[in-house]
Structure 1
Amino acid sequence: MTTTQSVPLCHLHNYARSPDPSNPGNRANVLMLHGHGQSMDIFYHKTHFLQDALNMGGSQPSQSLPNLNVYYSEAPFEVNTGLGSKVWGYGLFDTQPVWGLEQSVGRVLRQLEQLNPVVGIIGFSTGATLAMIIASLLEKKDRCRLFGVNTTHPPLKFVVAYSGFMLGHPMYTELYEPAIRTPVLLYIGELDPMIPPATSYRLAERCSHAEIRTFWGTHYVPRHGKTTMVAINFVRRCVNGEIQTENADEAQAEDGWIDAFVNGSDAAAYR
């Protein structure tokens, strides 16, 4: 059984301008998981606006976030040698067993132990799927035997999943039954050709607290300011223990922001 030992820093990076790990203070850590064929560098360049927004703490200064350190993780398997593209596993995630997934799960769990505490994970596509797997394992640690791993890290407070989906092979059914309890915010691109919306909705059905936000776009992390603020306020509510007391008016306003998200040139720029 894999144990949770230290992880080489080359697989885990904090891109903050002036990180000070020797003085953690009132801090918490967030892990970022990239999608298929990306890397931590590529994912950072596509999502650094999220790190900036997390540092701002959301739209309610009286209930701000703690100091969040954002770390980017990198998948263990390389594709397109020379281009730095990495993957978390191989195979058809919706129908087949995923080769290499055990190594990826083990790497992320070791990183959680190294950074402990990690309050939440933000992932895109296969990275979002892996984030939900990790949330499931931390809730019911006996599920870890599916991957031959072990961990003592406490459950996550949240997952933000952009274009996430659930694994479809029967060997993974236990991950989603009973339903995952960790609060999750699911972003769904209404025009996504790679992860059809119905696939993400199936994941939502296996979560006991899933908030869904759609945007008029394809397979990418949307970066419209109001769209981003939905994620930041979700993180704030989860970290501050307010997830069960969401203000209905605020939720309605956030829905309006998502409906107003533009596509076209914006979508092409941020894929």
Structure 2
Amino acid sequence: MPPPPAPTKPLRILMLHGYTQSGPLFRAKTRALEKHLAKAFPSGASLVYPTAPHRLSPADIPVWDNSAPAPVSTEPLDCYAWWTRADTNPPTYTGLAQGLARVAECLKTEGPFDGVVGFSQGGALAGMVASLLETGRPEAFGAYAESVKSGGKWWAGGLEKWKDLKFDADTYPASFLNADGTVCHAPMKFAAIYSGFKAPHPAYGAYFSPKIATPTVHFLGSVDTVVVEDRSLALVDVCVEPRIVRHPGGHFLPASQKEWVGALIAFMRESLESKVDKKEERVEDMELPF
């Protein structure tokens, strides 16, 4: 009798929350999506929700309504961020290294993952994480650093005054490397980005040049006033063959509406199948004795 088929593993997805959220809060907001994904894939789906390392105080919370009173208390809240913005123009990201280290820890202890899903700041981070795990990205950071030293194109356009800033954007994050210097996780098979955006400062150029080759889908809310469409499209523009899905809502992740959940599931299936197809093509090219 032929041996029984090997048991299939559930789809593993890294879930990155937005600014002012946490892993548990993001999970509570996406429970419907989690259930849909578990039903959509024969082996099920397992979603992992890390919490960002930077705990925020009321002073860190943006006041979207200008008529609202400014926060008075400075006590930390149950709100977290992957980084905070420094007062530069374009902005740089304070604490990004710690945010990436938290993700790297999750990749090493909870992985391997098939893909990553991120919302808002987590969407921006999902694009950066997908980039970091791609083949050749450490070398791209090396080329970037050399370009900075030589005053090359990274600093064109009158931005030379930022060359002497001391922050950790010009080298590949050490947290993403193993002890032997290899990248800690295989490339992601897909990245789903909701209301994401691109880091605008040229210091982060190595994340986006060469373009992000990981299959990406970008969900944009037509009435999103927190991350306006132009910011999201800047991230779309640095991805290879990105897919755009527009929904009629604002700044949120549509976790229960069938049309938008269906678009995500279709994208995931296509991304996973394309990986299988490439593998099968390589096998078919082999000279087999039958």
Bin for the TM-score computed over the shorter chain = 0.7 to 0.9
* Contact 1:94-1:167 within 8 A present in 2 as well: no
1:137-156 matches, within 5 Å, as 137-139=132-134, 140-142=136-138, 143=141, 145-149=171-175, 150=177, 151-156=183-188
Q: Report the counterpart of residue 12 of structure 2 in structure 1.
A: 29
Q: Report the counterpart of residue 147 of structure 2 in structure 1.
A: none
Does the C-alpha gap of structure 1 residues 227 and 78 become closer, same or farther in structure 2, counting only changes over 3 Å? Answer: same
Given residue 148 of structure 1, which amino acid in structure 2 is its aligned partner? A
Given residue 88 of structure 1, which amino acid in structure 2 is its aligned partner? W
TM-score for the superposition, normalised by structure 1: 0.74
CA separation in 2, counterparts of 1:119 and 1:214? 24
Given residue 147 of structure 1, which amino acid in structure 2 is its aligned partner? P
Q: Report the counterpart of residue 200 of structure 1 in structure 2.
A: 232
CA separation in 2, counterparts of 1:29 and 1:242? 15
Given residue 117 of structure 1, which amino acid in structure 2 is its aligned partner? P
1:84 paired with 2:78, answer yes
CA drift of 1:66 comes to 3.5
Given residue 37 of structure 2, which amino acid in structure 1 is its aligned partner? L
CA separation in 2, counterparts of 1:209 and 1:68? 26
Deviations 1:151-184 (A, max 9, x none): 3210000011000000011110111011100011
CA separation in 1, counterparts of 2:276 and 2:247? 22
Q: Report the counterpart of residue 90 of structure 2 in structure 1.
A: 95
The two structures, once aligned, show a CA RMSD in angstroms of 2.3
Mean Cα displacement is larger for which, 144-153 or 177-186? 144-153
* Contact 1:38-1:86 within 8 A present in 2 as well: yes
Q: Report the counterpart of residue 121 of structure 1 in structure 2.
A: 116
Q: Report the counterpart of residue 260 of structure 1 in structure 2.
A: none
Q: How many residues matched?
A: 216
1:2-21 matches, within 5 Å, as none
* Contact 2:189-2:275 within 8 A present in 1 as well: no
CA separation in 1, counterparts of 2:51 and 2:45? 19
Identical amino acids, percent of aligned pairs: 30
* Contact 1:184-1:211 within 8 A present in 2 as well: yes
Q: Report the counterpart of residue 134 of structure 1 in structure 2.
A: 129
CA drift of 1:225 comes to 1.5
Q: Report the counterpart of residue 73 of structure 1 in structure 2.
A: 50
- Computing the radius of gyration from Cα coordinates, the structure with the larger value is 2
CA separation in 2, counterparts of 1:82 and 1:91? 17
Given residue 187 of structure 1, which amino acid in structure 2 is its aligned partner? F
Give the unaligned 5+ runs of structure 1. 1-23, 58-63, 246-271
Given residue 224 of structure 2, which amino acid in structure 1 is its aligned partner? D
Q: Report the counterpart of residue 6 of structure 1 in structure 2.
A: none
CA drift of 1:115 comes to 2.2
CA separation in 1, counterparts of 2:91 and 2:266? 36
* Contact 2:217-2:245 within 8 A present in 1 as well: yes
Given residue 218 of structure 2, which amino acid in structure 1 is its aligned partner? L
Q: Report the counterpart of residue 230 of structure 1 in structure 2.
A: 263
1:216 paired with 2:248, answer yes
Q: Report the counterpart of residue 207 of structure 2 in structure 1.
A: 175
